[in-house]
C-alpha cells in the first residue's frame, strides 16, 4: 500500500522507552524508573523471607500446635512505617515537580495553535501559515520552548509525541495546552491516542526538529509558498492530505461520494432537491458541508473552513474538475 503514514517509523527504538528528545523526558522517565526499581527490589525483599518462612515454620508433625508469640520489634515497626513514608515523599516530590514542569510552559514560549479533526492534525504557525493533513511533517526549532494551544473540531482526540513524553486530550469547545522544548534534531511521530472513529489509527503526523536557523528559513519559504496561483497539481496534494480518507477518485464509494466525474453532475440531496455540482456548490460543501448533503450519504463531513486556505480550496476544486 503506498501510504506514507504506514511508512512512518515507530518510536520504539529502545526496549522500554522511545528515544528521548525533549526537556520533559526526566519529568516522566525518572519517576518511572524509580518506581520500577523500587518494585523490583521490594518484590525480592518480600518473596525471599516468605520462601524462607515457609520452610522454617512448616508444621513438622500432624499434631504440632502453633506457638503463642506476643512480643514485637519496635525497630522493625518504625522501619516499615518510616521508610515507605520517605519513599512515597520522594515519589510525590518527583511527581509533583514533574507535573508542574510538564504543564507550565516558560513565559517566552512560542505559541502554536493545534487543531484536531477526523483524522488529521493542523498547526497554525506564528508566521501566519497553516499546515495540516494526514501524515504531515511539522518542522520545529530545537532548543526553543513551544506552547501548543489545542482544540478539536469534532470529537475527542489526544495529541501524543512519545519521544517528547507529552500527551494531552484535544477537546471540542475547549482549549487545552501542552508545551515542549526539543533537545535533539530528528523526526518524531505524533499519534492520536483517543479513539476517534474509523481512521483513528491513521491520525498521524511527524515533528521534524531542525536548528533554529533552518527553521527560520523553512518558515519563510513555507509562508511564501502558500501564496501563488491555484493549480490542479496543488489540489492533488491537498486531496491526498485532507480528502482521501472519505472520497475516492476512481468511483469507489467511501464515507462520501467519489470525486470521479463529480464536477458538472446533477446530485440529489436529502429532501429530494437536485443541485448541479458547480464551483459554488463545491466551495459550499467544503466550508459548510451540512448545508447540502447528498442523498444516501451520512452527514459526516466536518467543515474545512479554517484548515484550508482559499488557495487550497480553489486548487482542490481544479483537481476535482480534472477527474472526468
Question: CA-CA distances (angstroms) from residue 10 to 94, 142, 222?
Answer: 29, 21, 27
Nearer to ligand CUA, 130 or 193 (CB): 193
153 binds ligand CUA (CB under 6 A): no
Of positions 140, 182, 196, 245, contacts ligand CUA by CB under 6 A? 196
Cβ neighbours of residue 266 closer than 8 Å, sequence gap 6 or more: 274, 275, 276, 277
Locus of grid cell 518462612: 53
Of positions 114, 146, 182, 203, contacts ligand CUA by CB under 6 A? 203
Q: Is 313 exposed, middle or buried (0-12, 13-18, 19+ CB in 10 A)?
A: buried
Q: 184 φ, ψ to 5°?
A: -130, 135
200 binds ligand CUA (CB under 6 A): yes
Q: Which of 1, 4, 32 is nearest to 17 (CA)?
A: 32
Part in contact with ligand CUA (CB under 6 A); list of ranges 56-64, 101-109, 161-169, 192-200: 192-200
150 binds ligand CUA (CB under 6 A): no
123 binds ligand CUA (CB under 6 A): no
142 binds ligand CUA (CB under 6 A): no
Of positions 124, 136, 142, 194, contacts ligand CUA by CB under 6 A? 194
Q: Please, what is the minimum distance in Å from the beta carbon of residue 25 to ligand CUA?
A: 24
Residues 9 and 5: their CA atoms lie apart, in Å, by: 9
Q: Please, what is the minimum distance in Å from the beta carbon of residue 200 to ligand CUA?
A: 4
Quick note: the x/- pattern for ligand CUA over 80-119, rule CB under 6 A, is ------------------------------------x--x
172 binds ligand CUA (CB under 6 A): no
Q: Is 193 exposed, middle or buried (0-12, 13-18, 19+ CB in 10 A)?
A: middle
Cβ neighbours of residue 190 closer than 8 Å, sequence gap 6 or more: 121, 138, 159, 160, 161, 204, 205, 206, 207
262 binds ligand CUA (CB under 6 A): no
Q: Which of 167, 164, 317, 298 is nearest to 236 (CA)?
A: 317
157 binds ligand CUA (CB under 6 A): yes
Cβ neighbours of residue 227 closer than 8 Å, sequence gap 6 or more: 311
192 binds ligand CUA (CB under 6 A): yes
Part in contact with ligand CUA (CB under 6 A); list of ranges 75-83, 92-100, 189-197, 243-251: 189-197
Provide the grid cell at 143: 532548543
Q: Please, what is the minimum distance in Å from the beta carbon of residue 204 to ligand CUA?
A: 10
Number of residues that bind ligand CUA (CB under 6 A): 9
Q: Is 93 exposed, middle or buried (0-12, 13-18, 19+ CB in 10 A)?
A: exposed
* Residues contributing to the site for ligand CUA (CB under 6 A): 116, 119, 157, 192, 194-196, 200, 203
Amino acid at each position: 500500500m503506498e501510504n506514507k503514514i504506514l511508512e512512518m517509523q515507530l518510536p520504539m527504538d529502545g526496549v522500554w522507552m522511545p528515544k528521548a528528545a525533549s526537556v520533559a523526558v526526566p519529568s516522566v522517565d525518572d519517576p518511572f524508573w524509580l518506581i520500577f526499581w523500587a518494585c523490583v527490589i521490594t518484590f525480592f525483599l518480600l518473596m525471599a523471607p516468605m520462601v524462607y518462612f515457609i520452610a522454617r515454620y512448616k508444621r513438622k508433625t500432624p499434631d504440632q500446635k502453633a506457638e503463642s508469640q506476643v512480643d514485637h520489634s519496635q525497630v522493625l515497626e518504625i522501619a516499615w512505617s518510616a521508610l515507605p513514608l520517605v519513599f512515597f515523599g520522594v515519589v510525590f516530590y518527583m511527581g509533583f515537580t514533574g507535573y508542574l514542569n510538564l504543564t507550565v510552559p516558560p513565559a517566552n514560549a512560542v505559541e502554536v495553535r493545534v487543531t484536531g479533526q477526523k483524522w488529521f492534525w493542523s498547526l497554525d504557525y506564528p508566521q501566519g501559515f497553516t499546515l495540516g493533513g494526514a501524515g504531515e511533517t511539522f518542522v520545529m526549532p530545537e532548543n526553543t520552548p513551544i506552547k501548543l494551544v489545542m482544540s478539536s473540531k469534532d470529537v475527542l482526540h489526544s495529541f501524543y509525541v512519545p519521544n517528547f513524553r507529552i500527551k494531552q486530550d484535544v477537546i471540542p469547545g475547549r482549549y487545552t495546552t501542552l508545551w515542549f522544548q526539543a533537545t535533539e534534531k530528528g523526526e518524531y511521530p505524533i499519534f492520536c491516542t483517543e479513539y476517534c472513529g474509523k481512521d483513528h489509527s491513521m491520525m498521524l503526523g511527524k515533528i521534524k526538529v531542525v536548528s533554529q536557523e533552518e527553521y527560520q528559513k523553512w518558515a519563510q519559504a513555507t509562508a511564501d509558498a502558500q501564496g501563488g496561483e491555484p493549480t490542479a497539481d496543488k489540489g492533488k496534494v491537498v486531496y491526498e492530505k485532507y480528502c482521501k480518507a472519505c472520497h475516492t477518485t476512481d468511483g469507489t464509494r467511501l464515507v462520501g461520494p467519489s470525486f470521479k466525474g463529480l464536477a458538472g453532475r446533477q446530485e440529489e440531496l436529502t429532501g429530494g432537491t437536485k443541485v448541479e455540482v458547480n464551483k459554488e456548490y463545491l466551495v459550499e460543501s467544503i466550508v459548510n458541508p451540512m448545508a447540502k448533503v447528498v442523498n444516501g450519504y451520512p452527514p459526516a463531513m466536518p467543515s474545512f473552513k479554517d484548515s484550508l486556505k482559499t488557495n487550497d480550496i480553489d486548487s482542490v476544486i481544479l483537481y476535482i474538475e480534472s477527474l472526468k
